[in-house]
Structure 1
């Protein structure tokens, strides 16, 4: 009888299960942390096609793309609203709207907008600074 294989077979798996149980008792969040770490290191490209995990990763990817598109669309809408506000402020020739134009121009520049409205607003501020 081969004692090495007998001792290895009896101590290997049961000892591993016992060690996992002790670790689970002493640090209860260990398995949750390990599962989270493992989930964070999954390569979606290596998952079997059609598996529940693969479908989950596809849904997450689709949602990220939709969110990015939505953010881009909202950014463009904000730019357009600010541009329209600037155009209407600069179009009112009866009153000096320099302070409001400066405020709206700063918001537009914070959104990295580079267009003719930015140039026109800058010229408007320069022209009205000379007059006032």
Structure 2
């Protein structure tokens, strides 16, 4: 994890805009659940065709139930630190695989991802992927 503080604000980023520059930064991302690996506490979230692996092991608690984790297409928001995921290799070594080590993941029922993404695009700090 980053040497930053847990109370530092998270930078809002679209999944399709993630780059090596975001590694070790605290980020806030949204997407739809595509897959939940219960054994490894990993969730694959997607926004259109782009996907991100989210490690939710720090978020799970025996005192809470998370039924929405098992709902494909449930919209979630996750906050955490981005790392390179070395456990998966791709055919194209130039394409990094990232994992977000989540500090928080919450269902966002009713969140319109298209509106969310448009708001990010209109943000003065947004840099679209090249």
Tell whether the structures are fold-level matches, with TM greater than 0.5. no
Q: Name the TM-score, length of structure 2 as normaliser.
A: 0.16
Look at both structures and tell me which one has the larger radius of gyration over its CA atoms: 1
Q: Name the TM-score, length of structure 1 as normaliser.
A: 0.16
Q: Looking at both structures, which has the greater relative contact order when contacts are Cα pairs under 8 Å and sequence separation is at least 6?
A: 2
